[in-house]
Amino acid sequence: MNDQQRLRQLLHAEHTCISICTFEEGYALELVRDAALSLARDLWIWSSDGGVRGGLLAEDTAQPKTELAKDALKHLARKDRRPICVMLDLAAHLGHAPTLRALRNLLLRFENSGGQLVLIDHDDGLPDVVKAYATPLEISFPDERELEQLLRATLRNKNREHPIEIAISRSHLDAIVRNLRGLTRRQAERIVADMVADDRRFDDDDITRVLAGKRRILQADGLLAFVETPVDLSEIGGLKRLKAWLAQRDGALSDEGRAFGLRPPRGVLMLGVQGAGKSLCAKAIAAAWQRPLLRLDAGALYDRYVGESERRLRDALRQAEMMAPNVLWIDEIEKAFASAAAQSTDGGLSKRMFGSLLTWMQEHEQSVFLVATANDIEALPPELLRKGRFDEIFFVDLPEEPVRREIFAIHLRKRERDPGDFDLDALAHASEGFSGAEIEQAVISGLHTAFANHEKLLTSHLLDAVRGSPPLSVTMGERVAALQKWARRRCVPAD
């Protein structure tokens, strides 16, 4: 069902109070107006700057002395004929005891009279006593059909202001619409308007503007971020078993694989030594399957307002689903849900959010492949490690000598050096115990030394850098050894 159908279903079922938490207030109001018209019900809308007004006609005069929330609630309680009443941004007023009491009285009256209250707010901070009455209605992201309608309507409006030249193929139009998925209606409309603002032209080249605009919006939101991935797996050293696993399951993503009875893979957990390449594995998966990589910043989920953190997690996951197919990466997942594995020190927030994530992992239907990376096994909730949560649990260990040789070659090529000019065997042998990240830093350090001495980069510079900086496997040898021992029979080696 779409949003309109779900709202009508709740109204038909005579839910006394419906709560809509959204930043798209205008869209939510239109849903309620359309429902009231179709049901032939009186509609009243309250806001703190306008008081109570008849909601079907915008020019309706405000009811006198209804600007205060308490007075508005008392006024609405006297309405008969089973009205639908909308309160905008009421949550902020419910810290006032008389206002909360007036709301509870209104709800009790509506339970008997058949009236219904719709709360539209950007904040999910309703008191528990109100949440007990309220049925939440989540506003969905627009699907591709609605996005195309929105795109056409926006272009028509802009064309009335100043003519726009249309020169786009159907395939590119479909691609633009597809790349608008995961945005709210207002965000999508803003991007379409920006596309034609300068050149007054809508053509095949505008897909790059859509992608740039979408990246800006997601980065500003702070929850999901696009991550650039390597062009192909040749830019990633080692990980032979992981690469083979990805190649084997690539077919399950196709229509033929589904017809054969294969279920698309849902996710992997990457454990390993810090700096060994777990983050690179997320990029490898996205590169192998040619999917966009989205990074979920779990730290940005947490908010000081009660209920807001859970809403932000739900919104981020729904947004990822709307942008499917993609790879969703949660980095250092044990830090994001640290209190979920131990006695809670945050009032149960981490446990609730972790439970929401597990439910989504089990039940989501869109093609979103989850990659979770972790360094600290002891901090992981045991529920995350049980079979069935992930398709596989990989362990990314320190690279062996042949892989270290390959990693040196990759980082030298990245810096426009010919690996054939260096003694890669000596470098690989000298860097025993080094992670991929530490090898990269050795290359960078060698470049700095060579540049400072006005010399060509040589093997000796790199060897000095390796020998002059002990790796993590030495400085924290006991912890690394314990991690390797734990993973030996519990995980699949990535390499």
Q: What share of the chain is helix, strand, coil (3-state, %, to 5)?
A: 55, 15, 35
CB-based contacts of 226: which residues, under 8 Å, 6+ apart? 214, 215, 218, 219, 292, 293, 294, 295
Distance from C-alpha of 149 to C-alpha of 97, rounded to nearest angstrom: 45
Distance from C-alpha of 22 to C-alpha of 182, rounded to nearest angstrom: 15
pLDDT in the model for residue 281: 84
pLDDT per residue as tens digits for the range 177-211? 888 888 889 989 999 999 888 889 998 888 888 87
pLDDT in the model for residue 347: 57
- Does residue 492 have a pLDDT over 80? yes
Distance from C-alpha of 10 to C-alpha of 126, rounded to nearest angstrom: 19
pLDDT in the model for residue 325: 82
Mean pLDDT of 52-60: 74
Structural domains in the chain plus CATH codes: 3-136 (3.40.50.300), 144-220 (1.10.8), 233-396 (3.40.50.300), 401-475 (1.10.8.60)
pLDDT in the model for residue 211: 79
**Mean pLDDT taken over the chain:** 86
Cross-strand bridge partners of residue 393: 269
Distance from C-alpha of 366 to C-alpha of 372, rounded to nearest angstrom: 18
Query: What letter would DSSP give residue 247?
Result: H
pLDDT in the model for residue 8: 95
pLDDT in the model for residue 302: 67
Mean pLDDT of 119-136: 90
Helix H segments across 222-303?
Answer: 240-249, 255-260, 278-289
What does the block give as tokens for 21? 């938490």
pLDDT in the model for residue 346: 55
Closest CA to 330 of 363, 357, 303: 357
Q: Which residue has the higher pLDDT, 238 or 139?
A: 139
pLDDT in the model for residue 44: 94
Cross-strand bridge partners of residue 20: 120
48 CB neighbour count, 10 Å cutoff: 15
Tell me the pairing of strands 267-272 and 293-296: unpaired
pLDDT in the model for residue 80: 84
- Does residue 222 have a pLDDT over 70? no
Cβ-contact 434, 398 below 8 angstroms: yes
pLDDT-derived band at 85, boundaries 50, 70, 90: very high
Q: What is the share, in percent, of the chain residues with pLDDT greater than 70?
A: 93
Q: For 283, what's the count of Cα atoms within 13 Å in the CB-facing half-sphere?
A: 16
Cβ-contact 390, 269 below 8 angstroms: yes
For Cα atoms 301, 304, 309, give the angle at the middle one, nearest 5 degrees. 30
What amino acid is encoded at 255 in this protein? D
What amino acid is encoded at 464 in this protein? D
pLDDT in the model for residue 339: 55
Distance from C-alpha of 399 to C-alpha of 396, rounded to nearest angstrom: 8
Compute CA distances 219 → 213, 225, 282, 300, whole Å.
Answer: 10, 5, 19, 12
**3-class DSSP state of 385:** helix
Mean pLDDT of 122-137: 89
pLDDT in the model for residue 208: 81
Tell me the pairing of strands 224-227 and 201-203: unpaired
What does the block give as tokens for 153? 């309507």
Distance from C-alpha of 150 to C-alpha of 144, rounded to nearest angstrom: 10
Mean pLDDT of 44-62: 82
pLDDT in the model for residue 59: 58
494 CB neighbour count, 10 Å cutoff: 26
pLDDT per residue as tens digits for the range 324-379? 888 999 888 877 665 555 555 555 677 778 888 888 888 888 888 999 888 777 77
pLDDT per residue as tens digits for the range 398-436? 889 999 999 999 999 999 999 999 999 999 999 999 988
Answer whether 0.75 is exceeded by the pTM.
Answer: no
pLDDT per residue as tens digits for the range 263-304? 888 899 888 888 777 888 888 888 888 788 889 877 667 654
b vs e for 72-97, b when ≥16 Cβ sit within 10 Å of the residue's Cβ? Answer: bbbbbbebeeebbbbbbbbbebbeee
